[in-house]
Chain A
């Protein structure tokens, strides 16, 4: 059997389903957007890994296996040749270290050849430190191999169109290869050296490397091979700290032996090189390292060996346009190395461009803006000089300065700057700041222990944080401070300091540092850079000491106004080898002030500029949109039908064929028609759920009708119609601010109408409410009836021409109900009208002049109450024997028995006098207990409500 339940359920479910569809579409769209955002892009290139055997060495006939990967962009073929990039990795890395960069280049349309340098990873051979006969010749053979590939564009037979890119170890290879092989079309060496002896044995007064102070911290790391050596900007050659395969293990405990480490090529490493102290280092390199590390000094042979691996001597042979990228946070290869390379290459007229970024061997890739800039510069350089696309990149100089921490990801933020010409590390102008202080005696600790810490290799981005950590040990350092700066200085380049020193031994090793000291005394050593010096021929007394000029490593730093410069001379530094003998030096400032080189540059606009415009655009769009919306609404408002329906111009309320169907399909009002005229008190009568409240809601503009119209004084009523201001209403119970008193509520309500206070007639309203002194109590404390009365008073504020009250007597006691009746009847005089809804028949009967009876959304009766309520032709007769009575009455002419229940008969007398009916019954011997005249309204009400719910309308 079909029950109505499923139908109702389906009806209710339908709009929900519609909603579900909408929600589903939204979810799918969102999911799609997310998927689109995170979906891995299919590679636009393919790669081929191969173990190539090349022949190199001094005679060019020693075979070595190189582990290579060639990345070819999509579509590269003999018919469509592409330029190539030779991508070298950093020290301790493998071809895998540069994979992501290789993929980037491949996606930019370059064939990319990466390989693991000899002595690392699965490649064979030994480490010769970019030796021209070994590593560099290996790379030349790779160029041959590239030229032979059909997909690679060539300049001539055997001459591939190729750029060489690499960081650190790979950067030096790029320089040395370009010097040795003219087939290279462009190079981008990053964070690399100019002179290897100077890098490991620096001496900042300009002495020979044999006088240099051994940078033992870095050297040990390299020789030990641990860690991520040679991380460059934009990730070049970085990221393999966790992959020590093939790294030399000299410093390790008994290892399986060089060349037999995990992943090393099984056969290529000469078995004779199996020396546990050298790992995969070539014997000459190893021996030189052991000599230097033992004594802390380099002999000429060791310096010569290292110089062989340095671009310094061969820069004049480089003709490939060179983009030099160097890191500011780099205690291994400071900015001066790139400067030397730049000057050497530019001397022969080769195009050179220099860029500094805030990372380096200590600082890593630097902030995103720096990586982006380096990527952009590299791509631009290669595109022009290798691919032949785009304008000449020019030779302007860009650099950046740490501006602070990123508020979002806690990383560092750098501000980029640009200037037209490369100024070198001496800057374009100079600012002298005098530092002073008495001569001080400082002790050299035996064996350099304990030692000050100025930098920690591989501290990564943390190194910038170490600025303030640098620990100078008491008794081992002297300080000389300047006055507070009266204006900020933007240092870009190498500061110089003049000092004097005396030593009883005639020699001294000192570390010169330039601190930035803020007014609170906190000091920072920019990037942990120190200048080691080894002074000889010193007098024993400071008075006799000659001033020497120390060139500090180049820095990029802003010394703020009010900050002081502090020159520190220290005797020890953990990163360097110092004399083992304890000595006490006397140090003092020299004859010259600290010279701070400066460069004026313009700030490089970042994407922030675009975003700023986006913001401005967004605000403008919102403003324009707002204006448009308001204009459209105004226009629509003006076009709104303000005409008065002539038929209803004087009718307070006319409801025409009103229908309201809720979203869930429930029809609350199916068709309602009625009018309220001036002077009338109209009762809207119906059982609960008849549609009375819905009708009133539509009337108050709270709900949109599905069909039909409402006219108030001839004005068509829509939600918010101004004509609503002529209606006072109580719909669905009172609504007050519970924390205000009754009076305050009325006043707050009237203020919300924006009408003059004098129009409110508070006195009359309060009188009707009859709350007495309770009107000053909070509404929260009111009884139901009090709220009801206050609500009626609120509805009457301003004495509206039409008063609409929904169940006004709800909660009132009988005397108050009686009073309310009088009030309403009085109110309706003088042209005003009242519409009262109620489910109580008696109330309507006693209060209203007219009644409209609704049930199930339809009007079942309407008219003057007297007409409806007046005497009906039917009577209710209670008899002792209903069956007999029915027979008797059936015999009377015109009389009809309408109903029969519980011994009660409803009889339509149809003109026959009631007395006659009773007489007939009595005559027939039927006892008549009761005869009650019936009224039409009651009839109608009973008919529509049904006997079962008699209680709701009949009492």
Chain B
């Protein structure tokens, strides 16, 4: 018998394996629907573009041009898809994966059985967080991948165009696109952190997901109020559009770096709080 007195075959470090949690989540309808929508959205956009009447009235600001360039090639189509999804859809999806993961177990009552296995609390959180992040990344990749695939099939493999800079050769454009995805992933860590923190604080999955999205929207609204001045740069959403700087030549990295610092700081803070809270709290659900 082990000195810890555990049952034969039990090791704390092998409880709730990543694969097991991945399968748990994969079996859920909301996971399947969310991922399916990531594939569906580019298709819907593509079909919507087929109805284009040629009446170009997309000239809102310098980046409105992303719309007019959307059909110029697969890369631009992907960029457009990301552009329209980044501000809300991806936020909701990430909040869903990260906010739902612990809270839903709590609401089903299965959380206490996992803890009674026992899965060490820190391990439970770590695995759940990793799986949630994996699904978030998967959603991002699916969205971009599908858009790139069908966009290229439909509009061809053309250089990446935008009004902010010279057009980029497809190879370079693809790299920029990947960088955009990478930055977006970093920014969304804030949502992931916030949703996860709420997820361990409440038993209501909807509360965690909705709360994270609401706070994100609140931060976005505050960011619109220029009177707040320098305070705005401390808002988690302040640098959420800085990825547009990746489209210019040379690449504007200033805001990217600051955005990454902001996002990583917030995510670390939120996750730290989540772990601190969850490893101490009484599970009453």
The reply to whether A701 and B118 contact each other, CB–CB distance below 8 Å, is yes
What are 21 A-B residue pairs whose CB atoms fall within 8 Å in the complex?
A403-B249, A403-B252, A404-B248, A405-B63, A407-B255, A410-B61, A415-B250, A611-B257, A614-B261, A615-B257, A618-B261, A704-B280, A712-B5, A720-B119, A721-B118, A722-B6, A723-B5, A754-B14, A754-B20, A755-B9, A759-B8
User: With A37-B230, A408-B242, A739-B27 in contact, is A749–B252 under 8 Å at CB?
Assistant: no
Q: Which of B8, B10, B11, B229 has the most CB of A within 10 A?
A: B10
A713 and B120 CA atoms in complex are apart in Å by 20
Q: Determine the chain B residues whose CB is within 8 A of the CB of A754 once the complex forms.
A: 9-11, 14-17, 20
> Shortest beta-carbon distance, B164 to chain A, in Å?
5
User: Quick check: is A79 within 8 A (CB to CB) of the other chain?
Assistant: no
* A722, A737, A749: the one within 8 Å of B27 (CB): A737
* A406, A633, A748: the one within 8 Å of B255 (CB): A406
* B63, B248, B252, B258: the one within 8 Å of A611 (CB): B258
Q: What 1/0 mask marks residues of chain B from 71 to 98 whose CB sits below 8 Å from any chain A CB?
A: 0000000000000000000000000000
Stretch among A118-126, A725-733, A873-881 lining the B interface? A725-733
Q: Determine the chain B residues whose CB is within 8 A of the CB of A406 once the complex forms.
A: 245, 252, 255
User: Quick check: is B218 within 8 A (CB to CB) of the other chain?
Assistant: no
Q: Determine the chain A residues whose CB is within 8 A of the CB of B166 once the complex forms.
A: 518, 560, 563
User: Quick check: is A29 within 8 A (CB to CB) of the other chain?
Assistant: no
A736 and B109 CA atoms in complex are apart in Å by 7
The reply to whether B110 and A735 contact each other, CB–CB distance below 8 Å, is yes
User: With A701-B116, A735-B110 in contact, is A408–B255 under 8 Å at CB?
Assistant: yes
Q: Which of B1-55 contact A (CB under 8 A)?
A: 2-12, 14-17, 19-21, 23-24, 27-29
The reply to whether A755 and B7 contact each other, CB–CB distance below 8 Å, is yes
Tell me the nearest residue of chain B to A751, going by C-beta. B20
Q: Which 6 A-B pairs have the closest CB atoms?
A: A735-B109, A404-B248, A407-B244, A754-B14, A722-B6, A715-B5
Q: Which of B207-263 contact A (CB under 8 A)?
A: 229-231, 238-239, 241-245, 247-250, 252-255, 257-258, 260-261
Q: Determine the chain B residues whose CB is within 8 A of the CB of A723 once the complex forms.
A: 4-6
> Shortest beta-carbon distance, A913 to chain B, in Å?
52
Q: Determine the chain A residues whose CB is within 8 A of the CB of B119 once the complex forms.
A: 720, 752
User: Quick check: is B273 within 8 A (CB to CB) of the other chain?
Assistant: no
Q: How many interface residues does B have (CB within 8 Å)?
A: 75
User: Quick check: is A211 within 8 A (CB to CB) of the other chain?
Assistant: no
User: Quick check: is A394 within 8 A (CB to CB) of the other chain?
Assistant: no
The reply to whether A729 and B113 contact each other, CB–CB distance below 8 Å, is yes
User: Quick check: is A321 within 8 A (CB to CB) of the other chain?
Assistant: no
A403 and B113 CA atoms in complex are apart in Å by 57
Q: Determine the chain A residues whose CB is within 8 A of the CB of B114 once the complex forms.
A: 752
The reply to whether A404 and B118 contact each other, CB–CB distance below 8 Å, is no
User: Quick check: is B282 within 8 A (CB to CB) of the other chain?
Assistant: yes
The reply to whether B248 and A702 contact each other, CB–CB distance below 8 Å, is no
- Give the contact-size bracket for chain A: 35 or more
Known: A608-B253, A608-B254, A801-B7. 13 other contacts (CB 8 A): A37-B229, A612-B253, A642-B4, A702-B284, A719-B121, A723-B5, A726-B5, A735-B110, A739-B27, A749-B117, A752-B17, A752-B24, A753-B117
Chain B positions within 8 Å of A, measured between CB atoms, are: 2-12, 14-17, 19-21, 23-24, 27-29, 61-63, 108-122, 161, 164-167, 229-231, 238-239, 241-245, 247-250, 252-255, 257-258, 260-261, 264-265, 268, 280, 282-284
Tell me the nearest residue of chain B to A738, going by C-beta. B108
* A405, A612, A702, A756: the one within 8 Å of B9 (CB): A756
The reply to whether A618 and B265 contact each other, CB–CB distance below 8 Å, is yes
> Shortest beta-carbon distance, A622 to chain B, in Å?
6
A408 and B7 CA atoms in complex are apart in Å by 57
Q: What 1/0 mask marks residues of chain A from 579 to 614 whose CB sits below 8 Å from any chain B CB?
A: 000000000000000000000000000111001101
A539 and B238 CA atoms in complex are apart in Å by 63
Q: Determine the chain B residues whose CB is within 8 A of the CB of A615 once the complex forms.
A: 257, 260-261, 264
Q: Determine the chain A residues whose CB is within 8 A of the CB of B11 once the complex forms.
A: 754
Q: Determine the chain B residues whose CB is within 8 A of the CB of A612 once the complex forms.
A: 253, 257
The reply to whether A618 and B264 contact each other, CB–CB distance below 8 Å, is yes
A744 and B9 CA atoms in complex are apart in Å by 21
A410 and B242 CA atoms in complex are apart in Å by 10
> Shortest beta-carbon distance, B63 to chain A, in Å?
8
